[in-house]
């Protein structure tokens, strides 16, 4: 656990690097931090238009009869954007700080962690605003927020794990980032964000549910659903939806697997990073 100790010792540096990321991000833009809100709002508007008006998909029903596609969408989309931004940011972090890596010693993991944490700050602000909107709409989310925070912590570990591995790989093979860009697109659609989990389960996979007559018989295999749920973001997304949209405790598998997967990913990420890190100053 030398990694943890070393990072803990450099927490002050970590704080400063996060600040640098945050300050640098919106410096010299007139709207500044508002951009952090505008981007997801624009996306939400776009998807709402496409799905609610073009495809006429019904809005999922939440707690107390809440029916709002944009709110449902944002609950899943914001943490996914965090994942995507964190991964993309991590991949650029080493290359962008090549000067630093070549000239000063400090635990290099810090650059990745700072990058991810800076996106955490964005996520927290966005989720904060979203919670206020949910409250206004009558969804009393407050008692569920501590669990949401814990999930965000787990997701952060997940993103740091991926970021650590991909950031060093990207130094050796610069086209990793292009693969990842495509993969993130697929990942978004493989996660219940712009559609609901139950819609995918019942209408796309058509997994037989006891006491429910399946509508299609396309792929009625339970293992396909299982495979689908290997993606930890499915569990994360389901849990966020359950806690904030439906105001209920998530299904326990949707909690346990993402958390376990996060720790596993982090462990692998640290391994990969440690393995490839020694030659970093030369390869950059």
Partner 1 sequence: MTSFGAVVPAGSRKGSEDIAVRVENVSKRFRLYHERNQSLKAAMLRGGRAKYDNFWALKDVSLEVPAGSTFGLIGQNGSGKSTLLKCMARILRPDAGTIDVRGKMSALLELGAGFHPELSGRENVYLNGSILGLSRKQIDGKFEEIVEFAGLSKFIDTPVKNYSSGMYVRLGFSVAINVDPDVLLVDEVLAVGDENFQRKCSEKFAELRDSGKTIVLVSHGLDTVRTMCEKAAWLEGGVLKDAGTPAALIDKYVETTHVDRVATQGGGSRWGSGEIVVTKIELLDGDGNPTLWVHTGDSATLRFHYLAREKVKRPVLGFGIHNLDGVHATGVNSREAVAPESVEGAGYIDFVAPRMPLTAGSYDVTVAIVDENNLHTFDFQTKAMRFDVGRGTPSEAEGVFAIDGLWKFE
Footprint on this chain of partner 1 (rule: CB under 8 A):
12-13, 15-17, 19-20, 23-24, 27-28, 97, 99-106, 172-176, 278-279, 281-282
Query: Taking the complex as a whole, how short is the minimal distance between the CB of residue 9 and partner 1, in angstroms?
Result: 9
Q: Read off the DSSP letter of residue 250.
A: P
Decide whether 55 or 175 has the Cβ nearer to partner 1.
175
Q: How far is the CB of 175 from partner 1 (least distance, A)?
A: 5
Residues 6+ apart with CB under 8 A from 213: none
Q: Which is nearer to partner 1, 216 or 271 (CB)?
A: 271
Distance in angstroms (rounded) separating the CA atoms of residues 196 and 31:
33
CB of 15 to partner 1, least distance (A): 8
Count CB-CB contacts under 10 A for residue 18. 20
Smallest gap, in angstroms, from Cβ of residue 110 to partner 1?
9
What does the alpha-carbon distance between residue 197 and residue 96 come to, in Å, rounded to a whole number?
38
Nearer to partner 1, 159 or 165 (CB): 165
Report, in Å, the least distance between residue 35 CB and partner 1.
15
Q: What is the CA radius of gyration of the chain?
A: 20
Closer CB to partner 1, residue 7 or residue 247? 7
The position carrying tokens 């998909």 is 57
Q: 187 vs 231, 234, 246, 259, CA distance in Å?
A: 9, 10, 24, 18
Distance CA 209, CA 97 (A): 52
Q: Which is nearer to partner 1, 22 or 193 (CB)?
A: 22
């Amino acid at each position: 656990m030398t990694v943890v100790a070393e990072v803990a010792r450099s927490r002050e540096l970590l704080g400063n690097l996060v600040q640098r990321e945050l300050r640098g991000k919106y410096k010299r833009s007139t709207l500044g931090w508002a951009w952090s809100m505008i981007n997801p709002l624009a996306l939400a508007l776009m998807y709402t238009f496409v799905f609610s008006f073009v495809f006429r998909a019904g809005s999922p029903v939440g707690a107390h009869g809440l029916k709002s596609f944009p709110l449902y969408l944002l609950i899943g989309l914001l943490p996914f954007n965090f994942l995507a931004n964190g991964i993309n940011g991590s991949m650029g972090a080493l290359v962008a700080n090549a000067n630093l890596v070549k000239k000063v010693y400090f635990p290099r993991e810090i650059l990745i962690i700072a990058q991810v944490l800076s996106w955490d700050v964005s996520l927290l602000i966005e989720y904060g605003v979203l919670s206020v909107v949910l409250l206004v709409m009558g969804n009393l989310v407050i008692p569920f927020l501590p669990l949401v925070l814990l999930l965000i912590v787990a997701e952060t570990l997940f993103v740091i794990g991926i970021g650590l591995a991909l950031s060093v790989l990207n130094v050796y093979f610069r086209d990793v980032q292009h693969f990842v860009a495509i993969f993130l697109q697929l990942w978004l659609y493989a996660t219940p964000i712009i559609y609901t989990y139950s819609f995918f389960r019942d209408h796309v996979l058509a997994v037989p549910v006891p006491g429910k007559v399946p509508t299609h018989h396309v792929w009625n295999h339970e293992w396909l659903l299982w495979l689908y749920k290997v993606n930890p973001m499915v569990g994360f997304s389901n849990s966020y939806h359950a806690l904030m949209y439906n105001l209920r405790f998530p299904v326990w598998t949707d909690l346990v697997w993402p958390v376990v997967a996060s720790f596993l990913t982090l462990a692998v990420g640290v391994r990969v990073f440690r393995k490839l890190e020694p030659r970093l100053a030369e390869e950059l």
